[in-house]
Amino acid sequence: MAGKAYPPLRFTAHPSTSPFTVSQQKYLSQHPDERFQYIATAALVFDIKKGIDPRILLLQRSAQDSMPNRWEVPGGGCDDEDESILHGLARELWEEAGLKATYIEPSLGEPHFFTSRSGKRICKFVFVVQVEQGAQGHLNVKLDPEEHRRFVWASQDEVKAKKVGDVELEFTTQDLENSLLQSFGYIEERSVQ
pLDDT in tens, 50-61: 888 999 999 999
Mean pLDDT of the chain: 92
Q: Residue 137: which pLDDT band, with cuts at 50, 70 and 90?
A: confident
Question: What pTM does this model have?
Answer: 0.93
> What is the C-alpha separation between 93 and 73, in angstroms, rounded?
9
pLDDT number for residue 79: 95
Residue-range domains of the chain with CATH: 12-192 (3.90.79.10)
Contacts of 167 (CB under 8 A, 6+ apart): 152
The rounded radius of gyration (Å) of the Cα atoms in the chain is 16
Which pLDDT does position 5 carry in this prediction? Answer: 67
In sequence order, the β-bridge partners of residue 77 are 40
Query: What tens digit of pLDDT does each residue of 104-122 get?
Result: 999 999 999 999 888 999 9
